[in-house]
Amino acid sequence: MVTFIPQKTIQEKEAHCEKGNHGVVVPQINGGRHHRRLPSEEARLDAEWNIRACRAATESTNPIRELLESLCVVSSKKKEKISLAQGDPTAYGHLKVPEAAVEAMVAATKSYACNGYTHSAGSHECRKAVADYHSSSLPLKLTADDVSITVGCSQAIQLCIAALATPGTNILIPRPGFPIYETFCKYYGVECRFYDLLPERDWEVDLDQITSLADSNTVAWIICNPSNPCGSVYKKQHLIKIANTAEKLRVPIISDEIYADMVFGPAEFIPMAAFSLKVPVLTVGGISKRWLAPGWRLGWIIVADPKGILSRGKVVEALTKLMQMTIGTSTLSQAAVPGMLLNTPSSFFEDTIKSLKAGAELCYERVNRIKGLHCPTKPQGAMYIMVKIDPDVFTDIKSDVEFAALLVEEESVVVLPGSAFGISKWLRIVFATPLPLLQEAWDRIDLFCLRHCAAVPYTGTELY
């Protein structure tokens, strides 16, 4: 089993510490001993001050961040690191924010009118721009009052869960799925009930399982479409079944659509709010992915509730109160949104999709040529591919975590184990990468798999 230990911690302990009596770590300062206070003195101080961290905070985890930071500290010294792990489409610089967004941000900055506070739910102009942009694909007309502007899509998810987190409730969460759903549910004391996505059916929802999991305490059903981490896009008929099931169970939907319209397969993207006459929908999204601006930290919550179910349940009021607890996202980013949404040409999105599609096809073609790896379905959207590992093919790799740790150590290629997304013996690989670099990464993965394959003993020499 591979244990992740931050390199900085190792170096600090080796360079500055030694073991003293009773296993107490004694730091070394200028070559001499500097003894720590005795445990009894520390206990006295702790009792006097009575300072304790919030248990919910100390027990919270973000598996993606933890694994990324652990995997990235140890890598082959012979090869430049290639990360196929973090969902940042701007990481390699070949995908950039649209010029319209830059111009809007510059204009907002030069106006000197966007340096102060604004409405806690976001400026009216920003919220109206988001509402108008989404109304074009919905059977209802959204207004600025239906939109709240958040610090990225992650905060949008957090606030939706917080608004629904009453004692004894549960939320349905996809598996594999974005781990922050579980993180926030646990933080707010909401039970997580995981439902499976079916790889043999293009990662569709197991709807029979949904029916068996939901009960009178189920307050939300989270779906992600297009999917992180699966790269799937739900067809219209499947979305209709989801809406019908939610209506039957009387469970509102939180629809994570941060990858909205980032599709390159046969299925058209259809927003879940298109079915809000059947079931109330809280849509979370933002500018991080489609507009390639994750660092601008702007997301949104859209309430599609034409029957007023969420309003009468005071969920909308709860969202308003939660928004009022914080100052909100950057007013400069908010000021840039109307120009960004209105003036970005279709050619910008077409170029992005073309790049992502090429990366998806390259990954799908390469992975299915490598013994021990398999991809059951070609990605249709977002920027991820899920790859299944067959541990029986390898001599010394028994899990996805071991695979990822050894791969970065030997080949300096970073991928995330599926365990971070709730599913073992899988890997999530990002293909929002320049094609030559992506090709190089797959050459290294191929070499790595051959080296550890049971049928090909490794002799210590390069195979290429």
Sign of the CA dihedral running 318, 320, 326, 332 = positive
Hey, how many other C-beta atoms are within 10 angstroms of the C-beta on 444?
A: 19
Q: For residues 452 and 396, give the distance between their C-alpha atoms in angstroms, rounded to a whole number.
A: 7
Contact predicate 295/266, CB 8 Å: no
Query: So what's the pLDDT on residue 77?
Result: 65
Q: What percent of the chain has pLDDT over 70?
A: 87
pLDDT digits (tens, 9 = 90+) for 6-50: 434 334 333 333 333 333 333 333 344 444 556 788 888 888 898
Picking from 199, 202, 194, the residue whose alpha carbon sits closest to that of residue 233 is: 202
Q: Cis ω on the peptide bond leading into residue 391 (within 30° of 0)?
A: no
Which DSSP letter does residue 394 get? B
**Beta strands 416-417 and 426-430, pairing class:** antiparallel
Residues 6+ apart with CB under 8 A from 64: 86, 179, 180, 416, 420
Categorize the per-residue pLDDT at 250 as very low, low, confident or very high, splitting at 50, 70 and 90. Answer: very high
Picking from 442, 439, 414, the residue whose alpha carbon sits closest to that of residue 428 is: 414
What are the structure tokens assigned to 54, written together? Answer: 């919030």
Q: For residues 182 and 184, give the distance between their C-alpha atoms in angstroms, rounded to a whole number.
A: 6
**Residue type for position 338:** P
Query: So what's the pLDDT on residue 71?
Result: 61
What are the structure tokens assigned to 133, written together? Answer: 């942009």
Give the global pTM: 0.87
Q: Cis ω on the peptide bond leading into residue 176 (within 30° of 0)?
A: yes
pLDDT digits (tens, 9 = 90+) for 145-185: 999 999 999 999 999 999 999 999 999 999 999 999 999 99
Q: Is 385 helix (H, G, I), strand (E, B) or coil?
A: strand
Q: For residues 243 and 247, give the distance between their C-alpha atoms in angstroms, rounded to a whole number.
A: 6
Q: Which domains does the chain have, with CATH numbers?
A: 7-52 (no CATH), 63-94+347-452 (3.90.1150.10), 99-343 (3.40.640.10)
Would the pLDDT of 457 be above 90? no
Hey, how many other C-beta atoms are within 10 angstroms of the C-beta on 176?
A: 25
